[in-house]
Structure 1
Amino acid sequence: MPTVSVKWQKELYPNVEIDTSQSPYVFKCQLYDLTGVPPERQKIMVKGGLLKDDADWSKLGVKEGQKLMMMGTADEIVKAPEKGPIFAEDMPEEELVIHVGHSAGLFNLGNTCYMNSTVQCLHSVPELKSALIKYPRPVRSNEVDQTSHLLTVATRDLFNDLDKNVKPVAPMRFLTELRKKYPQFAQLHNGVYMQQDAEECWTQLIYTLSQSLKSPSSSEDPDAVKRLFGIDLVSRVHCPESGEESTEAESVYSLKCHISQEVNHLHEGLKHGLKSELEKASPSLGRSSLYLKDSRINDLPRYLTIQFVRFFWKRESNQKAKILRKVDYPLELDVYDFCSDDLRKRLEVPRRTPLQFSHLTIHFQTSNFKILRDEEGKKLGLKTSDKNSGSTDNDVKMAEAEASSNRSGNSSKSESVEDAPEKEKALTGIYDLVAVLTHKGRSADSGHYVAWVKQENGKWIQFDDDNPIPQREDDITRLSGGGDWHMAYICMYKARVVPM
């Protein structure tokens, strides 16, 4: 990568690296970070002509130490808002960014929306940012390989850049380290970087961070990523033919929502995803046989990641095909029904503690909670247990009245729980939706990925690469599929906690 200097107005920027494997547009994004001049306003002189966004570096003959001239007007510095009422629709774009409380967007560096959407979702996890701030800790050379270390440092620095800026950020270093660590993200087609699968990017990045941020010597948080995202499963593996049965344990970083003609809601897809068939050798039969695997959650994370299995390999066309079926998902998710008996026992005490919901405050173990949950299920088209519950419209009204009377008394207590040390919090099995990564198009390796992220102030933002757009909460659950519009591919939920 040749190093050049760039002269702009009275400023001289030395030692600017040019990645000749990237388009000149990426170089302009780098200069935008330095000068504040947007790429579309930049005029850079190279070999007596203007540098075009899609020019071929090999034909330009840029040499080491060469001085380039740039012309263009920088964005104006955002002025402090005047006193008095200001309406969001009247604000300049950058002031609106500050008003709604979200971070900067990310430039698309050539089919990198899969990466940008993944970064924006994970950047919304404050506990992950805290763990990254403490990195790098003293490590032995054999604990973390160099490529993992560099990708983790690049993640930390990119998160920091997003927090400090309101203008879009060019994730050049992060992209470079991601491709070094995982060369599949550097695949080319006709000289152009290919679109990649966002779920694969998410999985690989989480795995890398789990290795880098692991600290067996740390009593504070020896395994930060597992605590934040890890899901422990316990599975019953049964062979119907031989009667053999065994128990298996494993840790994963996401649950799968399998989609079929019978699946209309996330709950149903998760139920299918926790059951599977596998073929393996049977000791008693002396040959391979079919085994049924039935899994249950045995330990829950702070953030629950769910992948909608929308893509499958189509042999006829030799490519990934997409399932467009609409699958509804809730803003509030209760995973109690998917938990093992052991975990359910551990959740009993926390679920007896009053908990503040976004729309109601209830006591989990009262029959009223079951009534309200059944009512929510009816709205989503799920089967409920009305025959056994004996609930009536009057029962529901009484439950809602109880929730309303408790709301004001529990809100301050619930808010203080979030600020308490992690050791003083207990999970309940209830999760709130905080991020959705969507895909628009017919193939995982094409189309467009976008992140929809809930901010700490409760507002939702659509991060479409370098263009953050405020959204209403009602619009988020409409990303459930059924057409060619953006549809949920990955959902991330945050656990509701109560004081221990």
Structure 2
Amino acid sequence: MSLSGCPHVAAFKKSKGTKPFRIIQAFFVSCSSVENVKRKARAGSCHVCQQCNQRLHACLTCVFFGCYTMGHIQDHARSTKHNLAVDMTHGTVFCVPCGDYVYDSEFEQISQEERLNCSKFHGSSVQGFSAWEATGYEIELLRRNPTRKKVSGSSTIGLRGLINLGNTCFMNCIVQALTHTPLLRDFFLSDKHHCENERSRDNCLVCEMTRVFQEFYSGIRSVHIPYRLLHLVWTHARHLAGYEQQDAHEFFIAALDVLHRHCKGHNGASGNNPNHCNCIIDQIFTGGLQSDVTCQACKGISTTVDPFWDISLDLGPSSSSNSAPLPVPIIVPTPLPDFSLDSNSSGSSTSSSSLHNGDSGLMSPPGFDDVPHSLDDCLRRFTRPEYLGSSAKIKCSVCQNYQESTKQLTMKTLPLVACFHLKRFEHSSRFRKKISTFISFPHELDMTPYMSTHRRANGLSHHPRSNRTTTSDNQYSLFAVVNHHGSLEAGHYTCYVRQHQDQWFKCDDALITKASVHDVLQSEGYLLFYHKRILEYE
């Protein structure tokens, strides 16, 4: 809400005064008489769609009621230049040109007066209450006990269990992680999404996610039933339809893809990459992975940068232990690219998002400890230089001959939210198994060592010392962890989410329980969600 300085409110008051606002407050917001209640019941519906439950607003300039959700009050304002409207439930003033609710001290005084009149109307069962305001004694009590003023630290708003609709724990845990993603929460709670086609709203996953976020942060503590969300997931991601247990990582990528497609309609492409747009999904989750291929003959370097939404990290032995070829992660440019990056095809999850060239013949350098024990180990292995064998020679643009080469992946740009997928599910032609190795991961993560401008010594390039220092922009904080319990055949997903800066909760479908940081860091992580520390604003 804008607190001051709206020129449209000032112009309205100069032209028409405050009487129209008082009339709407008395007759349609506070309803301080039986006649006013009946009048609102008869007339309180949108003049366009006749609905009364879509955040109804009253025009301050003329006799027009329009719903906010369907955009009819906004359309009326644009066509008539009647810029201001009053929310008929809360009495707040919405300025259409400013696109925000605005505060005016004179309007607020009128609202308080009409609420007081309403409180005198408690002889009837309709609105027989008054708004609470602190007394002098209560204000003094709060002043003497300042620690009691911090209510947000213990607030549970945003925590809500989800009913398991039949092997849908994979979806529930991703929904919990997404609803606790800072910028995504801000986007969906501020009505930033507008469907281009009103008829498609019932089939729009972004509209449904908006409803889910509003349900989570409405203050209601009862369990939510995400049946509409499940139906839309089945509609837009057919491979996830049915009541069989699915892979949470695959659902995460599919959900981002559908949200990306539904968000990008009014967001133009930006930059040199036509596959990268400025929709909210790309703004939050998209990073850039730099691939440097170095010719061993002339030391010439060929560099490409591909977008990614998450990074899949191998947990099993690398190819150096068994002389098996290690595939190269590649991104295939398509109108709707899959931005999941994978460090090794052996041990890949059930996700169809990992794309590889299985004949690349990549070999690991000698002496490398190929069994990771921490997230840092996984990232070091992901970004280490790999040596292409003689069976995978690449034509050098400088030598103009096929030469042996090395390849190294590093982070060119970092996303606001980084998701790391620990590949615990191994599938091959011979067997299927789950890797339950404990992989430690930090509460605070520094991605500086894996940046393109701060690569480990590898002989590919040299950078000035100033680029090797840690920057605050590369610092991340853990805010959600998805865990898989059990085996491939009989497993269950749960999720840890961070509430505020220091409170953790375990989400097990409908059950929400308090957890400690120790519980989180000792869990068998499957998906790790980090956001940049610059987003710490609570």
Q: With structure 2 as the length reference, what TM-score do the two structures score?
A: 0.51
Structure 2 CA distance, aligned partners of 1:286 and 1:148?
Answer: 56
Q: Are residues 303 and 347 of structure 1, via their aligned partners in 2, closer, same or farther at CA, if it must alter by over 3 Å?
A: farther
Aligned to 2:530: 493
Amino acid at match of 1:340: S
> Which is further off, 232-241 or 171-180?
232-241
Counterpart in 2 of 1:339?
Answer: 451
Q: Does 1:134 align with 2:180?
A: no
Q: Render the CA deviation track for 1:2-42: whole Å, top value 9, x for unaligned.
A: xxxxxxxxxxxxxxxxxxxxxxxxxxxxxxxxxxxxxxxxx
Other structure's SS at 1:213 match: helix
- With 235-244 and 257-266 compared, the bigger mean Cα shift is at 235-244
1:473 and 2:517 aligned: yes
Structure-2 separation of matches of 1:178 and 1:264: 35
User: Quick one: distance in 1 between partners of 2:478 and 2:375?
Assistant: 13
Superposed displacement of residue 226, structure 1: 1.8
Q: Within the alignment, does 1:197 sit opposite 2:247 as a pair?
A: yes
The DSSP-based 3-state class of the residue aligned with 2:507 is: strand
Alignment of 1:76-95 (within 5 A): none
The letter for the 1-side match of 2:262 is S
SS in 2 for 1:269: helix
Indicate yes or no: 2:508 matched with 1:464: yes
Which of 404, 425, 429 is 1:311 aligned to? 425
CA contact (8 A) 2:311 2:421 kept: yes
Of structures 1 and 2, the larger Rg is shown by: 2
State the alpha-carbon separation in 1 of the partners of residues 208 and 387 from structure 2: 40
Code of the residue aligned with 2:520 in structure 1: it is I
Aligned length: 316
Matched AA of 2:308:
V
Question: Within 2, Cα distance between the matches of 1:448 and 1:298?
Answer: 35
**Are the equivalent residues in 1 in contact too, given 2:497–2:506 (CA < 8 A)?**
yes
Deviation at 1:181, TM superposition (A): 0.7
| 1:203-242 alignment, distance < 5 Å | 203-214=253-264, 215-216=266-267, 222-238=278-294
The separation in 2 between residues aligned to 1:309 and 1:147, in whole angstroms, is: 36
Of 268, 273, 281, the residue aligned with 2:377 is 268
Contact 1:308 1:489 in 2 (8 A): yes
CA positional deviation for 1:473: 1.2
In the alignment, the residues of structure 1 paired with residue 239 and residue 200 of structure 2 have an alpha-carbon distance, to the nearest angstrom, of 18
Asked if structure 2 preserves the Cα contact closer than 8 Å seen for 1:235 and 1:247, the reply is yes
Partner Cα distance (2:175, 2:446) in 1: 26
**Residue 436 in 1 paired to residue 455 in 2?**
no
Whole-angstrom distance in 2 between the partners of 1:452 and 1:172? 22
1:450 and 1:228 map into 2 onto residues whose CA distance is 23
Residues in 2 aligned to 1:297 and 1:237: alpha-carbon distance in whole angstroms: 15
Could you tell me which amino acid in structure 2 is paired with residue 122 of structure 1?
L
Q: Tell me, what secondary structure is at the counterpart of 1:222? A: coil
- Counterparts of 1:98-497 in structure 2, within 5 Å, are 99-132=155-188, 133-137=190-194, 139=196, 150-164=204-218, 165-187=220-242, 193-214=243-264, 215-216=266-267, 222-238=278-294, 245-260=301-316, 262-275=371-384, 282-283=394-395, 292-317=406-431, 320-341=432-453, 428-443=473-488, 446-456=490-500, 458-479=502-523, 487-497=524-534
Q: Secondary structure at the match of 2:533?
A: strand
Secondary structure of the 1:168 match is coil
Structure 1 CA distance, aligned partners of 2:302 and 2:154? 55
Cα separation, 2, equivalents of 1:103 and 1:492: 17
State the AA in 1 paired with 2:527.
I
- Distance in 1 (alpha carbons) for counterparts of 2:533 and 2:380: 22
Cα deviation, 1:81-116, whole Å, max 9, x if unaligned, reads: xx99xxxxxxxxxxxx98544421100000000000
Where does structure 1 lack aligned partners over 5 or more consecutive residues?
A: 1-79, 85-96, 188-192, 353-363, 365-425, 480-486
SS in 2 for 1:232: strand
- Describe the superposition over 1:124-177 as per-residue Cα deviations: whole angstroms up to 9, x where unpaired: 013113323435425489xxx969962222222122212222111000000000
CA contact (8 A) 1:298 1:343 kept: no
The code of the aligned residue for 1:334 comes to: D
Distance 1:269 1:237 in 2: 21
Corresponding letter in the other structure for 2:284: L
Give, in whole Å, the separation in 2 of the partners of 1:197 and 1:241.
44
Identity %: 23
Q: Offset of 1:346 from its aligned partner?
A: 12
Whether contact under 8 Å (1:238, 1:293) holds in the other structure is: yes
3-state SS of paired residue (2:224): coil
Matched residue SS, 1:264: coil
Q: Offset of 1:288 from its aligned partner?
A: 9.4
Helix, strand or coil at the partner of 2:217: helix
Aligned partners of 1:439 and 1:240: how far apart in 2? 43
Report the CA distance between 1:256 and its aligned residue. Answer: 2.6
Following TM superposition, by how much is the alpha carbon of 1:477 offset from its aligned partner in structure 2, in angstroms? 0.6
1:265·1:328 contact (CA, 8 Å) conserved in 2? yes
User: Quick one: which amino acid aligns to residue 167 of structure 1?
Assistant: S
Q: Which amino acid aligns with 1:213?
A: C
Q: How far did 1:341 drift?
A: 1.3
